[in-house]
Amino acid sequence: MLDIKFLRENPDIVKENIKKKFQDHKLPLVDEVIALDEKNRGVKLNGDDLRSKRNSLSIQIGILMKQGKKEEAEQIKNEVSKINEQLVENEKLENEYSIAIKERMMKIPNIIDASVPIGKSDLENVEVEKFGEPIVPNYEIPYHTDIMERFCGIDLDAARRVAGNGFYYLIGDIARLHSAVISYARDFMINKGFTYCVPPFMIRSDVVTGVMSFEEMDAMMYKIEGEDLYLIGTSEHSMIGKFKEQILPKSELPYTMTSYSPCFRKEKGAHGIEERGVYRIHQFEKQEMIVVCEPEDSYDWYNKMWSYTVELFRSLDIPVRTLECCSGDLADLKAKSVDVEAWSPRQQKYFEVGSCSNLTDAQSRRLGIRVKGEKGNYFAHTLNNTVVAPPRMLIALLENNYNEDGSIKIPKALQSYMGNQEVLIPKK
C-alpha cells in the first residue's frame, strides 16, 4: 500500500505506474482517493474545531457553576450536548471516509523499480543470466511421473480417490529424495546465516490482506469454513505476518529467516502436457527465505537472495537461468522480482522453480511493521524468495541426473541425506 501523502503529492507518478502495469481500469482510483482524502481531512478539521469548542464551553460551565449561575451553565450544557451529537455524526463520516480510502488504496499497485522492464505478461520477461551448461543427452528422458513410477515412487490414482486431482502420494526413494532436498535446503540457508523457523500453516484474514493483493487472495487461498483462518499458500505469508504491528529496534535489523511449510493453493493449471503430474498441484512443500531490513539495504538483500537459490541449484548439478519479471507480470505489492528457472533436458527449455521479490514497504504499511529510528519510526522493507519447492524441484533434479539405464545419480550434496547412496536403481 502506498503512502497516501505520496499519492496526494504525486498523482501523475502513481497513474503512470498503473499504466506501466497495464491496469488502466485502476486509474480512477487515484482521483477517488484524492477526493475522499480531501473530504476526510475536512471532516477531521471540523472534528478538531468541535472538540476545541466543547473544551472551551466546558471551562465556562465550571466557572459559571462556581459563580452560582446554574441557569446560564445549563444553557451552555445544552450547547455541549449538541456538539457531542455533531461529533458522533462527524466521527461516523471520518470512519466511512477512512474505510473508503483504504479500500481503494489497497487496490493501487506498489511503485515498481525504475529498472523493471515494461511488458504485459510473463511472455515479455527478460533473461538476465545463465548459470551452468544446459545439456541434452543422446538418450530419451521420460516424463517425470513416468520416472517416479519406475521407482514405485508416486501414486496419483490413489491420491485422486482420497483428495481429488492435484494431489499425490510420494513413496519410497522418491519420497526420501523429496525430504532430502528440503533438509539440504534448510541446512544450506542456515549456513548462510538465516534463522530456521517452522511457522503457523494457517493465518487470519488481516494477515492475508497484509501480505498480498485481493486478486491473489481470491485466486490462491483456501478459507477454513466458519473461521477467520486461511491455509497458507507459502510460508512467506505467516513469516512476514510474524512482525505485524511491531516496532522493531533498528539495532536488530535485518531479520533473516528461512522457513519450512506445506503450501496450499486453489489454482491448478491445465495448459497441456507439462501441467500434468506434479508440476501444478494444490499441495506441496517449500523451503522459503524472508528478510525484513532497512529501506536502503533492501536491494542488496534482493541480489543476495536470488543468488543463494542459483547457488543451491548449481550445487545439485542443475543448470538455471534468471529472468527479470516485466511490469505486467509483477503482483501488485512487488516493486521488483526475478524468477529462477531450471533447465529441463526432456523439454529442452527452462521452467520456473522459484521467485525472488522486493516488496519495499508495501507489506509493512499494510501490516504496521515499523523500525524505531533515532528521528522517529518508519516502515521496514520486506523481501521473500523461494529456496526450493519440491516436488517441482524433483522434476529438475530427476531429469538432470537421469542415466541412460534409468537410474538416478544422487548429487554429492544430497548423498548424506540419502544414507550415503550415490545412485537410485529403478524397481521396474
Residue-wise pLDDT tens digits, 209-233: 999 987 888 888 999 999 999 999 9
Domain co-membership, 47 together with 72: yes
SS3 of the chain: helix, strand, coil, percent, to 5: 50, 20, 30
> What is the rounded CA–CA span in Å between residue 83 and residue 105?
32
In 142-284, which residue ranges form alpha helices assigned H by DSSP?
A: 144-150, 156-162, 172-191, 205-211, 214-220, 235-241
Grid cell, residue 268, equals 491448478
- Residue range(s) defining the domain that contains residue 66: 4-105
Domain co-membership, 89 together with 134: no
Sheet holding 222-223, edge to edge: 202-203, 230-231, 222-223
Q: Look up residue 423 and give its DSSP letter.
A: E
Q: How far is CA 62 from CA 51, 69, 85, 337, in A?
A: 17, 10, 21, 63
Residue 273 has pLDDT above 70, yes or no: no
> What is the rounded CA–CA span in Å between residue 363 and residue 212?
8
pLDDT in tens, 136-164: 999 999 999 999 999 999 999 999 999 98
Q: Please give the pLDDT value at position 272.
A: 45
Domain co-membership, 315 together with 198: yes
Domain co-membership, 132 together with 64: no
Q: Final residue of a domain: which of 79, 105, 131?
A: 105
Alpha carbon 345 to its chain centroid, in Å, reads 30
Domain co-membership, 398 together with 250: yes
Domain co-membership, 73 together with 167: no
> What is the rounded CA–CA span in Å between residue 278 and residue 391?
6
- All residues at 6 or more sequence positions from 35 whose CB lies less than 8 Å from its CB, including other chains: none
Q: Final residue of a domain: which of 73, 105, 137?
A: 105
> What is the rounded CA–CA span in Å between residue 395 and residue 284?
13
Residue 270 has pLDDT above 50, yes or no: no
Residue 45 has pLDDT above 50, yes or no: yes
Q: Which of 18-27, 59-68, 74-83, 265-274 has the lowest mean pLDDT?
A: 265-274
Residue 268 has pLDDT above 90, yes or no: no
Residue 267 domain flag: yes
Sequential DSSP letters for 128-171? EEEES-----SS----HHHHHHHTT-EEHHHHHHHT-TT--EE-
Mean pLDDT of the region 133-138: 95
Domain co-membership, 101 together with 130: no
Identify the CATH number of the domain in which residue 205 sits: 3.30.930.10
> What is the rounded CA–CA span in Å between residue 261 and residue 241?
15
Q: Are 93 and 296 in contact (CB under 8 A)?
A: no
Mean pLDDT of the region 103-110: 96
Alpha carbon 410 to its chain centroid, in Å, reads 32
Q: Are 240 and 211 in contact (CB under 8 A)?
A: yes
Grid cell, residue 270, equals 491445465
Nearest to 21 by CA among 104, 118, 122, 106: 118
> What is the rounded CA–CA span in Å between residue 275 and residue 348?
16
Residue 275 confidence class, pLDDT cut points 50, 70, 90: low
Q: Which of 14-28, 63-77, 100-114 has the lowest mean pLDDT?
A: 63-77
Residue 117 domain flag: no
> How many separate domains does the chain show?
2
pLDDT in tens, 297-338: 999 999 999 999 999 999 999 999 999 999 999 999 999 999
Residue 307 domain flag: yes
Residue 276 has pLDDT above 80, yes or no: no
Nearest to 78 by CA among 62, 54, 48, 59: 54
Residue 130 has pLDDT above 70, yes or no: yes
Q: Please give the pLDDT value at position 62.
A: 87
Q: Please give the pLDDT value at position 267.
A: 67
Domain co-membership, 318 together with 173: yes
pLDDT in tens, 162-214: 998 889 999 999 999 999 999 999 999 999 999 999 999 999 999 999 999 87
482517493: which residue's cell?
33
Domain co-membership, 270 together with 418: yes
Domain co-membership, 150 together with 98: no
Residue 115 domain flag: no
551448461: which residue's cell?
133
SS3 19: helix
